[in-house]
């Protein structure tokens, strides 16, 4: 059986993972409006990844005999009106998620749950990758600036991104 405090932390994180899925779905809509299909694809993959991350914790909590408590998912909010601004918000959100996962790991350490720490190690490594990938996108978008041809070339390149079901844990 999983510790109650850790169970609560996992439930909160599950909600945040599904919020991330919902946020990226909302951002995808903006790129659909701009007819940037490569960016739409990038967000499609991101939506699938966030769903998989949430389900990984959902399934883990179930496997450990925890009580899964699904709460309302907040309305996704973002203010960006350009690809650069949106990706700046994506990076800030990924940094928030990293901090939140680190909090769950802190609770797991506090209650000395080594199994949870093993699982969370995968998520922590995943967040390093997420922040690095988004950081790379930001660097490219800053380099592109207002060059619409370069933006369309990046958009075309983003069509190649594919979802790979992660093996969590």
Closest alpha carbon to 116 in 135, 129, 103: 103
pLDDT, tens only, 30-45: 999 999 999 999 999 9
As to burial, measured by CB atoms within 10 angstroms (0-12 exposed, 13-18 middle, 19+ buried), residue 18 is: buried
CATH fold label, 4-70+81-158? Ferritin (1.20.1260)
Predicted confidence (pLDDT) per residue in 64-101, tens digit: 999 999 999 999 999 999 999 999 999 999 999 999 99
Task: Report the pLDDT value the prediction gives residue 169, as an integer from 0 to 100.
Answer: 85
Burial 88-110 (b: 16+ CB within 10 A, else e): bbbbebbeebbebbeebbebbee
Q: According to the model, what pLDDT value does residue 1 have?
A: 87
Give me the chain's average pLDDT, please. 98
CB atoms within 10 A of CB 142: 11
pTM for this entry: 0.97
Could you give the CA distance from residue 150 to residue 140 in angstroms, rounded to a whole number?
A: 10
């Amino acid at each position: 059986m999983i510790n109650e405090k850790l169970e609560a932390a996992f439930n909160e994180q599950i909600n945040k993972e599904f919020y991330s899925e919902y946020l990226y779905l909302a951002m995808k809509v903006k790129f659909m409006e701009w007819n940037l299909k490569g960016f739409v694809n990038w967000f499609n993959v991101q939506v699938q990844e966030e769903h998989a991350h949430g389900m990984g914790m959902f399934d883990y909590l179930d496997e450990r005999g925890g009580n899964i408590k699904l709460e309302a998912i907040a309305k996704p909010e973002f203010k960006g009106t350009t690809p650069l601004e949106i990706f700046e918000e994506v990076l800030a959100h990924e940094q928030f998620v990293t901090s939140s996962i680190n909090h769950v790991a802190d609770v797991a350490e506090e209650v000395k749950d080594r199994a949870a720490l093993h699982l969370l190690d995968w998520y922590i490594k995943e967040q390093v990758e997420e922040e690095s990938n988004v950081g790379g996108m930001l660097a490219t978008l800053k380099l592109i600036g207002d060059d619409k041809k370069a933006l369309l070339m990046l958009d075309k390149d983003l069509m190649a991104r594919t979802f790979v079901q992660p093996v969590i844990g």
